[in-house]
Structures are given as structure tokens and as C-alpha cells.
């Protein structure tokens, strides 16, 4: 049985919106929606799409939910960041939570790269201090008032700081994903 | 002024409805398996005012949480229906939710009786 052109177009847009899901899941959602619309059509309803909202938003509710759940299972910063980025489309709070956590992840990676390269570039990489400076990394060499802190402990300290910051920001990302899922449960919405 | 009160109450009722939608769906599935449209009609017949588009993402979540399981059944109307039924875990969660609901409801009954 065929649906009116407008309903077919809606189904097409929903399918496009579900592009990031697996083929089986996508087919399942669209088939269920088609079945619903066919039933309503058989009942003689004039506006088949009443109560569905935009196709983009309808599809996004599945995509966000799936991405958040899958990220929790995977637990990697990449999966968590990607899921939160998708969820940030409809939540400013998620966006504001995600940005500092992404920054922390990049800083942590910077620390780890510094620690790994320290044995090869001992004079260029390290912990630098000065009257208005305290940072881990490298300098351009044009700032004579800062100097590198010497000592064997700098290398492991930077590595530990990197690992701790990475782990902590990862845990906070997990917390943010759980919070977003909890919001769905609380409001009954995905 | 009266309009403001009505608007506030409407918004509050909407929040109440959203917060209890999961319980309503699990309750509806307690006695029989249903497909999405049946659930919408069942809940709306009970004056819960469910929009058609909100039921499917919720059912997908309940399925992901293993509270319901699904089966496509050819109903002989030219297309198949995706039926939902409670799993053992779903029944367990529903029983716990009903206990919590009962406690909550009794607490409110006590409060309204006193005031």
C-alpha cells in the first residue's frame, strides 16, 4: 500500500536523518513508522504526520540516544566526545560541558607527547617557570626571563599529570553522557 | 491573571505526563503485547495526551534497556506490525515502580487530607 507523497517524503527525510545508525536499525525504525502511517491512513486520518514534529528532530531522537548508549559501552574519549557532540545539537548545557572537557583532553595529550619526547629533546621540552609563566611544553627561545626546571622527576611528573588529566576528563565525559541519558528518563523524552 | 495560572498548570501537567510516560507504557504492556499505534491509542483513551512521535523513541529506549522485547508480526492487513512485550526485567522494574508510585500517591493523599 502506498502513502501520500508528503508522508513518503517524511519517511525519506527520517531515513536520511538516521544515516549514522546501522542499516538494520535504520530499516527497522522506518518500517515501524511506515506501518504506523499506513494504519492511520486506513483509519481515514487526514493529516498522517500529526504529532510527529519535523523529520530531522524525530530522527535525531534515535541518533542521540543510540550514540550516547554506544559511547557508554565503548568508554573511549573519541566515542564519548562524538556522542556528546551529537547530543549538543539539542542541548546548550551539553555543549558547555563538552567544550572544557575536550580542551582538557587535548592538554592531557600534549602533556603525554611532551613526556614521550622529553628524552629526545631535553633542552627544548619540559616544565618552564618565570615571573609570569608556569607551563609544560616548549618555548620559542625569545623569552630570556623564563627557565626550564631541571631534575629527573620532571619527565615522570608530566607523564603522570597527562594520564591523570586524561582519565579525569574521560570520567567527566562519562558523567555528562549519563546525565544526558538520565535527563531523557526524567522527561520521558529521548 | 487567570490565563497565566492556566498556562502554568498546563506546563506542569505536561511535565507530569512526561515523567510518568514510561510507567504508563509499561503498565499498558503488562496485560498484553501491543504495537506502537495501539499504545498511543490506549494511552490517549486514558486521557494521557501522548503525541504520536514521542512513543517510538521511548520504546527504542525501553528496548535498549531490555525492559521490552519486540517481534514483527504479519497482522494480515497488508503490512506487518512491530509488537512490544515486557521482558522479565521489565516486569521487575514495573513492580518496583508501582511500589514507588503507591508510596508517592499515599504521601500526597495524606498531604491533601491534612490541608
What pLDDT is recorded for position A186? 60
What residue spans of chain B are helical by DSSP H? 2-31, 36-45, 52-64, 88-114
Q: Is position A99 within any domain?
A: yes
Which chain A residues contact residue B35 at CB under 8 A? 35
Closest-CA distance of chain A to residue B14, Å? 10
Which stretches of chain B sit within 8 Å of chain A by CB? 15, 17-22, 35-37, 51-54, 56-58, 60-61, 64, 72, 77-82
Pick the residue from chain A with its C-alpha nearest to B16. Answer: A187
Give me the phi and psi of B72, to 5 degrees please. -80, 130
- State which residues form the domain around A97: 92-187
Q: Is position A47 within any domain?
A: no
What pLDDT is recorded for position A187? 56
Which chain A residues contact residue B21 at CB under 8 A? 188
Domain definitions of chain B by residue range: 2-114
Which chain A residues contact residue B58 at CB under 8 A? 188-190
Q: Is position A8 within any domain?
A: no
Q: Tell me the CATH number for domain B2-114.
A: 1.10.10.10
Which chain A residues contact residue B93 at CB under 8 A? none
Q: Is position A126 within any domain?
A: yes
Q: Is position A119 within any domain?
A: yes
**Nearest CB to A32 within list B21, B58, B82:** B82
Pick the residue from chain B with its C-alpha nearest to A38. Answer: B79
What pLDDT is recorded for position B14? 80
Total domains present in chain A:
1
Q: Above 0.90 for ipTM, yes or no?
A: no
Average pLDDT score over residue span B81-93: 97
Give the separation between CA A91 and CA A102, rounded to whole angstroms.
17
CB-based contact A29 B60, cutoff 8 Å: yes
What pLDDT is recorded for position A17? 94
Give the separation between CA B54 and CA A130, rounded to whole angstroms.
58
pLDDT band at A36 (very low <50, low <70, confident <90, very high): very high
Q: Is position A34 within any domain?
A: no
pLDDT band at B1 (very low <50, low <70, confident <90, very high): low
For testing contact with chain B, the best of A32, A49, A63 (most B CBs within 10 A) = A32
Give the separation between CA A142 and CA A147, rounded to whole angstroms.
11
pLDDT at residue B82 greater than cutoff 80: yes
Q: Is position A2 within any domain?
A: no
Q: Is position A26 within any domain?
A: no
Amino acid at each position: 500500500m502506498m502513502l501520500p507523497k508528503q508522508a513518503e517524503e517524511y519517511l525519506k527525510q527520517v531515513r536520511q536523518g538516521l544515516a549514522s545508525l546501522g542499516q538494520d536499525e535504520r530499516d527497522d525504525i522506518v518500517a515501524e513508522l511506515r506501518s504506523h502511517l499506513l494504519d492511520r491512513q486506513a483509519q481515514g486520518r487526514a493529516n498522517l504526520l500529526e504529532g510527529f514534529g519535523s523529520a530531522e528532530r524525530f530522527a535525531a531522537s534515535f541518533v542521540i540516544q543510540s550514540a550516547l548508549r554506544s559511547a557508554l559501552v565503548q568508554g573511549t574519549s573519541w566515542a564519548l566526545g562524538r556522542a556528546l557532540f551529537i547530543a549538543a545539537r539539542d542541548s546548550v548545557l551539553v555543549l558547555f560541558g563538552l567544550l572544557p572537557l575536550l580542551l582538557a583532553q587535548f592538554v592531557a595529550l600534549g602533556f603525554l607527547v611532551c613526556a614521550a619526547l622529553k628524552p629526545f629533546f631535553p633542552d627544548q621540552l619540559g616544565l618552564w617557570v618565570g615571573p609570569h609563566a608556569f607551563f609544560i611544553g616548549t618555548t620559542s627561545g625569545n623569552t630570556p626571563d623564563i627557565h626550564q626546571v631541571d631534575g629527573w622527576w620532571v619527565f615522570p611528573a608530566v607523564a603522570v599529570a597527562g594520564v591523570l588529566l586524561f582519565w579525569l576528563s574521560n570520567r567527566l565525559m562519562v558523567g555528562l553522557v549519563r546525565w544526558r541519558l538520565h535527563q531523557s528518563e526524567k522527561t520521558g523524552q529521548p | 491573571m487567570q490565563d497565566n495560572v492556566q498556562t502554568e498548570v498546563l506546563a506542569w501537567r505536561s511535565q507530569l505526563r512526561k515523567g510518568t510516560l514510561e510507567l504508563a507504557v509499561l503498565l499498558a504492556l503488562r496485560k498484553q503485547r501491543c504495537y506502537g499505534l495501539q499504545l498511543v491509542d490506549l494511552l490517549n483513551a486514558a486521557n494521557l495526551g501522548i503525541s504520536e512521535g514521542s512513543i517510538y523513541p521511548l520504546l527504542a529506549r525501553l528496548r535498549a534497556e531490555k525492559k521490552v522485547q519486540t517481534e514483527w508480526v504479519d497482522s494480515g492487513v497488508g503490512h506487518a506490525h512491530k509488537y512490544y512485550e515486557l521482558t522479565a526485567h521489565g516486569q521487575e522494574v514495573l513492580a518496583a515502580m508501582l511500589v514507588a508510585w503507591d508510596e508517592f500517591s499515599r504521601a500526597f493523599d495524606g498531604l491533601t487530607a491534612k490541608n
